[in-house]
Amino acid sequence: MTDFAIELIGISKSFGAVKANRDVEMRIAKGSIHGVIGENGAGKSTLMSILYGYYQADSGQIRVNGKDARISNSQEAIRLGIGMVHQHFMLVDTFTVLENIILGAEGGFVLKKGLSSARDHLLKLNTEYGLDVDPDAVVGTLGVGLQQRVEILKALFRGAEVLILDEPTAVLTPQEADHLFRILRTLREQGKTVILITHKLREVIDITDAVTVMRAGTVVGNVRTSDVDREKLADLMVGRKVNLKVDKADREPGEVVLDVKNLGLVDHRGVKLLQDIGFSLRAGEIVGIAGVAGNGQSELMQVLAGMLEPTSGEVEYKGQSITHLKSREPKAKALRRLGIAHVPEDRSREGLVKAFPMFENAILGYQDDPRLMRGTMYNRRALIARTRTLIEQFDIRPGDPMLRAGLLSGGNQQKVVLAREIFANPDLLLVGQPTRGVDIGAIEFIHKRLVELRDAGKAILLVSVELEEIMSLSDRILVMACGQITGEVAGNAATTTELGLLMGGGNKQ
């Protein structure tokens, strides 16, 4: 018997002219947590999709527990003991946890018998791995962290000995990520093998035993985690020296661009989502909003972007009230005309139309720009030329304007949205989770562009669950908890301890 749970030997895969994987070699030890890292578009997800049977390799060999394997579909992968938790969960919101877990593995026509047996097995798995999920909870009512545990339970229920997790912390808070890692360590202790696809170097160092580094579809390093540090991994990923620190000089902010006074928002159930929010934002300043996800940050950005109407309070932009803006066009569109751009937190639902090609996504929200028209029709050549400029400036890969946005990696989708909004040259930029699901090289690039905008006199409001990002970029930090601002801290004086206290609802004295 081999000591390797998985061996990938000479794996190659192309999509047309794009070579996603080129002669990839990877060996993953049994009972280990193995990291797979690389820039967006490096071929990580494609490789794991081959292992899970979604794609078939053009050439190469797969071995599972030392035996040659032909994995033609996901059912075959599951039969071989391979499970996968995707970045975007494959769950039915209206089903219970138990119903989601047995979906496709009901155990025959007598569903009641299958449910009873599944419940017993699920409770055993729950206890054994410390997953702490209620089998009768409706999935749509659960937070993201709990939904992810449901996906892990689903894989374990089907007998997974090898568990692939694709960017598992991209949508988790730091607390949820820590809980996930405790689960992964328990899985390792129980003899399971975990493959972790991620771009977060801190997580790789903290949780993995070994790391495979990919770049441009090839493996550029197979290393023991104990033998490397973040800087070494970053250099391997990008192929050059990466600056992990944000270079940002002190500067004096200008005039007030955004003034929020006593802002409140109550939903249809009477729940107060925002309570008495007040702050100002000046030209040439980045104000970051920190907080655990779900504490009102998303709703605040949606109000400021014109997607939600506030219940009370006042919002002024350059001295003009925009609280209840009178316009024949949608409010969000009218605000864009005034110079307010918005990078939404959820690029998939609010930032892109995945079925559209990249060149059409590159003008969403700005489609009435007369420079893009030829009479009453769009100037297709101008649209494509504009998109090629964005591709070049933001290093979007693959660089094909005709490619459907849904075929881009998550990080490159994020670049499309950022490029579109920054290209509009706004005076106020609202940015939600700018580097969610983005690799280290792109993070460095995005941070640099945001600082350049700030230095050019733009006002930036930044929401992120990444405390390191908030602390590195922000001139001032506001902390939100339970729909309220619990404190304000100077960016250069903030500590994780102080921010953590405020995020928990404690008021700054």
CATH of the domain at 213: 3.40.50.300
- Bond into 398 cis (ω within 30): yes
Is 121 within 8 Å of 157 (Cβ atoms)?
Answer: yes
Strand bridging mode 484-490 / 340-343: unpaired
Q: Do 180 and 135 have their domain in common?
A: yes
Same domain, yes or no, for 82 and 52?
yes
- Calpha distance 126→103 (Å, rounded): 18
Measure the CA–CA gap between 44 and 27, rounded to whole angstroms. 14
Residue 347 included in any domain: no
Q: Do 30 and 170 fall within a single domain?
A: yes
Statement to judge: residues 375 and 283 lie in one domain? no
H or E segment and range at residue 220: strand 218-224
Could you give the CA distance from residue 482 to residue 295 in angstroms, rounded to a whole number? Answer: 5
Does the residue 209 lie in any domain?
yes
- What's residue 509's pLDDT? 43
- Separation of alpha carbons 243 and 295, rounded Å: 32
Tokens 């078939």 correspond to 56
- For residues 255 and 387, membership in a common domain is answered with no
Domain final residue, candidates 238, 272, 287: 238
Domain that holds residue 88: 4-238
Separation CA 509–CA 26 (nearest Å): 53
Among 209, 238, 267, where does a domain finish? 238
**Does 122 fall in a domain?**
yes
Q: Are 43 and 89 in the same domain? A: yes
Structure tokens at 110: 């007598």
Q: In what order do the strands lie in the sheet with 218-224?
A: 82-85, 162-166, 193-197, 33-38, 210-215, 218-224
Give backbone dihedrals phi and psi of 103, rounded to 5 degrees, phi first: -55, 120
Q: What are phi and psi of 250, to 5 degrees?
A: -65, 145
Instruction: Identify whether 88 is part of a domain.
Output: yes
Q: Measured between alpha carbons, how far is 336 from 450 in angstroms, rounded to an integer?
A: 18
Q: Nearest Cα to 442, choosing from 118, 199, 249?
A: 199
* 132: in domain: yes
| Phi, psi at 38, each rounded to 5° | 165, 165
Which residues are within 8 A (CB) of 360 and not within 5 positions of it... i.e. 6 or more apart? Answer: 353, 383
DSSP 8-state class, residue 491: G
Same domain, 398 and 369: yes
Same domain (yes/no): 231, 249? no
Kindly report whether the global pTM for this prediction surpasses the value 0.75: no
Last residue of a domain, one of 391, 423, 455: 423
Q: Judge whether 346 lies within some domain.
A: no
Q: Are residues 234 and 257 in the same domain?
A: no
Q: What is the DSSP string of 290-324?
A: E--TTSSHHHHHHHHTTSS--SEEEEEETTEE-TT
H or E, element range at 234: helix 230-238
Residues 50 and 100 in one domain: yes
Inter-residue contact 303 to 263 (CB < 8 Å): yes
* pLDDT per residue as tens, the chain (509 positions): 459 999 999 999 998 888 899 999 999 999 999 999 987 778 898 999 999 999 999 999 999 999 999 999 999 999 999 999 887 778 898 999 998 988 876 554 445 556 777 888 888 888 888 888 899 999 988 877 788 888 898 898 888 999 999 888 766 766 777 888 999 999 999 999 999 998 778 889 999 999 999 988 999 999 999 999 988 888 888 777 766 678 888 889 999 999 999 999 999 889 999 999 999 999 999 999 998 777 899 999 999 999 999 999 999 999 999 998 888 889 999 999 999 999 998 888 889 999 999 999 999 999 888 888 888 888 899 999 999 999 999 889 889 999 999 988 777 898 999 999 999 999 999 999 898 767 777 788 889 999 999 999 999 999 998 888 899 999 999 999 989 999 999 998 888 788 878 887 665 54
Asked if residue 214 is part of any domain, the answer here is yes
Q: Is residue 345 part of a domain?
A: no
Q: Are residues 372 and 259 in the same domain?
A: no
- Same domain? For 77 and 162 the reply is yes
Our count of domains for the chain comes to: 3
Determine the pLDDT at residue 113. 54
Give the largest CA-CA distance in the chain: 73
